[in-house]
Structure 1
Amino acid sequence: MWRRVASVSHLFSHSKSTKFNQGASTFKIWETFTSESEIPTPSKGSPFVTFVLGGPGSGKGTQCAKIVEAFGFTHVSAGDLLRREIASGSAYGSVILSTIREGKIVPSQVTVELIQKEMESSDNYKFLIDGFPRSEENRKAFEQTIGAEPDVVLFFDCPEQEMVKRVLNRNQGRVDDNIDTIKKRLEIFDELNWPVINYYSQRGKLHKINAVGTVDEIFEKVRPIFAPLSK
């Protein structure tokens, strides 16, 4: 079912991204195309993929855990996969570590290969892919490699001040949980994530979630999106 990706050793060169004008007009475009359409009916013969987007500290991982418990998805965290690769001591791991410390995005094909392997090793067909894609390059690499678009895209919309506070308070010992790296990650999110959000808005796949409130309050905004999967 899955196509194997080619060697990615040549992909660790940093390419300059075109700066995205994150202004008021961008938000209006996104609002215009935000979709509240129903999710497609999943089939056990092919993967049912949900992308989970949002800035650092927006609560993606916490809400993914709730979705897994309620609806039986497999949670695939792009960040966790990269950190696992770092911990493995592989050749890719050291390069990934330096990239993350600089607040940059790991080359697309590297992350896609790790995600693909994780999906291939699962017996489930419903996946939450958390924290990916983070750029248009990420999005295209995933769709070209996997050969399909996501079925649903969740966007956890959270004020920057709240995200910074949450990341600093979680104290998980992660290399990217410091104020300087957080600021860089937020800048990159503003520059690169909005084109992805707009793209999936126009495709009728995006569901915007107000990510302010308690964990349970936020999940009650998520639950109706996946309620058809309980039937």
Structure 2
Amino acid sequence: MMARPRSATVTALPRTSVSTSAAAAFDPDLPAPQRRIRLMAALPPPLRELLVQGRTDRRPRFGEDGFDGMIELWSPPDGVTAAQAALARQALEQLSATVLAPADSDHLLGRVLTLLSHFPAKGLSPEVERMMALDWAEDLGEYPAWVLDAAARSWRRSRKWRPSIAEMRALCEELCAPELALAARLQALADAAPHEAGNADLRADPGSMATGALRRMGRMG
């Protein structure tokens, strides 16, 4: 007697809007262009298309001392839908919670103390050194651990003097510029269409994870 063939059971895989998470795609040891390419590849295809279709304008920037170089201003394409804006907010939230998440206080303070130990200052008491380190930790507190590590490594290998806080902030901004630029463009897409009913306005929420990195680093008004 022939055995009855068993019917096959097919289990549908859950659909996800992002095929690869930002955290899985990100490698801080890669050069900046490759980091950006991998983060872009982790985005859903509709977002990648919108980012390519956006407009980039170069404008002069002026500081206290006059001309301070050129800046790029990116604008989203016309016709961004509410669904696409929601997808951008989701991607921005993931990026802010992983790649751009600020370092924990222990890592930050340890990194600062170690860096300053390579450039000992004369005539300062241990208490003053400790208070200075706390100032550093406060002024660098918005940066991710990988940025702080890279900035400290770069300074150790290229400088012979103790850095200032302003110099380290400028170096940190330079090191994570591609990631901040991507976050700013995702934010622009998120703000380009009305929010769907029932969704909170992330831009109006100062505690929102999605806009936290841009607010901390002064990229939003």
Normalised TM-score (structure 1)? 0.22
Higher relative contact order by CA 8 Å / sep ≥ 6: 1 or 2? 1
| TM-score, normalisation: structure 2 | 0.23
